Amino acid sequence: MACFTAPLAEALVVSAAKSASKGADASRNPFVRRLGWLRNMLFGGSFLLAVEHVWHGEITWRYPFLTAVAEGDTAGMLREIATVGVAMAVLVTAAWACMVVVSESAARRAARAGARL
């Protein structure tokens, strides 16, 4: 119904954090440097989920836009956002953290290999 709103909200927060973190100290932290990856993953996933919900008729182009609200199932929609949406946002964030760790490890390994030559 509206599970894409939780990752979308996190994407907006990450965008604000990325804007606020511009500075010399931020470039030393690999997680801060890679916030753009997280932002893109969250916005992209939210967009694809919204398209899927439009495709299946769960989102309409007329008010109240979400069919769950029109059917009186607002509590069910909020429950889905709190469970499914938050779980998706946490999973995407965990995948991003793994990507940052692996990319930093590969960069350090490549730097050590270059130093040996």
Q: What is the pLDDT along the chain (117 residues), one digit of tens a residue?
A: 789 999 999 999 999 999 988 876 667 889 999 999 999 999 999 999 999 999 999 888 888 888 888 888 889 899 999 999 999 999 999 999 999 999 999 999 999 888 775
Query: What is the reported pTM?
Result: 0.88
pLDDT at 24: 61
75-98 burial, b if ≥16 CB within 10 A, otherwise e? eebeebbeebbbebbeebbeebee
List the one residue out of 73, 76, 72 whose CA is nearest residue 3: 76
| Distance in angstroms (rounded) separating the CA atoms of residues 38 and 44 | 10
Q: Which domain covers residue 61, as residue numbers?
A: 5-116
pLDDT at 117: 57
Sign of CA dihedral 5, 90, 99, 30: positive
With beta carbons less than 8 A apart as the criterion, state whether 44 and 36 touch.
no
